[in-house]
């Protein structure tokens, strides 16, 4: 079973309300899918009261900590020197979520310790070959 990095974090939901709501989330990185990272939001913040998982490129988060990045469903940009905003687009609407940079950086460091930058494709090839060997035996 490939190794997984799982790290709890706090996210601030940015809304029209006077007070932003802070919610616990889980940052996930799975070595079997080395190009992607995931953020798991608790059921209480979704429209249908089920857990919400957003997956996007690990390098999008890395770049977004330094400069505005992304196209499509996920955008990431720095917000001052100590925070980062992630913008998620779905058919149901748009969600803005703000994180402190420190937990995001720790998470990225842990993921790069597991699968270094540039080695992601090698990890995928190894998994595919292992699957072929196991399938043929």
Please give the backbone phi and psi of residue 91, each rounded to the nearest 5 degrees, phi first: -60, -25
pTM: 0.82
pLDDT tens for each residue of 40-88: 999 998 888 999 999 999 999 999 999 999 988 999 999 999 999 999 9
Does 53 or 1 have the greater pLDDT score? Answer: 53
User: Domains of the chain: which residue ranges?
Assistant: 4-136
Query: 64, exposed or middle or buried, with CB in 10 Å at 0-12, 13-18, 19+?
Result: buried
Per-residue pLDDT band at 2 (split at 50, 70, 90): low
Q: Where does 4-136 sit in CATH, by number? A: 2.30.31.20
């Amino acid at each position: 079973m490939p190794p997984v990095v799982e790290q709890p974090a706090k996210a601030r939901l940015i809304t029209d309300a006077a007070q932003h709501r802070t919610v616990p989330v889980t940052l996930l990185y799975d070595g079997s899918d080395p190009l992607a990272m995931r953020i798991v939001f608790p059921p209480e913040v979704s429209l249908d009261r089920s857990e919400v998982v957003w997956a996007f490129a690990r390098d999008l988060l890395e770049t977004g900590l330094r400069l505005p990045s992304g196209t499509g469903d996920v955008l990431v940009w720095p917000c001052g020197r100590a925070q980062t905003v992630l913008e998620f687009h779905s058919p149901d609407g748009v969600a803005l979520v703000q994180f402190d940079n420190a937990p995001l950086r720790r998470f990225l460091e842990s993921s790069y310790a597991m699968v270094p930058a540039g080695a992601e494709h090698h990890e995928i090839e190894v998994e595919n070959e292992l699957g072929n060997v196991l399938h043929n035996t």
